Chains A and B, each alone.
Chain A
Amino acid sequence: EPEVTQTPSHQVTQMGQEVILRCVPISNHLYFYWYRQILGQKVEFLVSFYNNEISEKSEIFDDQFSVERPDGSNFTLKIRSTKLEDSAMYFCASSRGTSGRGNEQFFGPGTRLTVL
């Protein structure tokens, strides 16, 4: 069964450093998403991406964040200068569509980012 994969599973970085979180969405999906979950809090939407551009982003997704689909398979989230409050579990998701039946999002296992 196809699945969304994410690497690394755990990333530790120093404050101010750049990190890139990687995701491989399901191959025939067209819409890609990043969510994050700070420890003890709810899962929050960050950004959605379609046709090589951002289709929607939350207020969390400021200039420190960027997304990219550098090739036909990978989908990346970059944080340019990490802050302590960026420590969270980051989930990638993908879907075939955004509305109607059968277009549910499939989630990867997450990358736990720890900023020291």
Chain B
Amino acid sequence: AQSVTQLGSHVSVSEGALVLLRCNYSSSVPPYLFWYVQYPNQGLQLLLKYTSAATLVKGINGFEAEFKKSETSFHLTKPSAHMSDAAEYFCAVRADAGGTSYGKLTFGQGTILTVHP
């Protein structure tokens, strides 16, 4: 079984400041990890994904995330926040290897990012 915990349901930063959104996972098999973003009244858009190729993953809009197995973490960062980054961000895990999960994603609770001018 897998689970995801996102620490902080709301994060507020100033424009130009560092964005750090936290995600910790639990998985009985090597996980594939994803960050999705949801803008108001829109669907879920894939930001980036970890698929075991590299621990530091770069995504769209300047976001990146680092997979740390020892910490079971996959935190999302962006060096300089922009007003357009305001949205809700979801971390998700997919258990691939040897399980009975046919691609099911398990999501965290979501983090709403607010960016102040």
Contact = CB atoms under 8 A, between A and B. Distances in A.
Contacts of A110: 43
Contacts of A102: 51
Contact of A99 (B44, B96, B110): B96
A103 interface: yes
Residue among B36, B53, B102 with most chain A CB within 10 A: B102
Nearest to A32: B103
Nearest to B90: A43
B46 interface: yes
A105 B105 contact: yes
A114 B100 CA distance: 33
A95 interface: yes
Interface stretch (A44-52, A64-72, A79-87): A44-52
Contacts of B42: 109
Contacts of B32: 99
A106 B43 CA distance: 9
A6 B43 CA distance: 10
A2 interface: no
Nearest to B104: A45
A30 to B, nearest CB: 10
Given A106-B46, A110-B43, A101 B51 contact: yes
B25 interface: no
Interface string A77-116: 0000000000000010101011111111111111000000
19 contacts: A35-B105, A41-B109, A42-B110, A43-B44, A43-B107, A48-B103, A48-B104, A55-B102, A56-B100, A56-B102, A93-B105, A97-B103, A98-B101, A99-B32, A103-B103, A104-B46, A105-B46, A107-B45, A109-B43
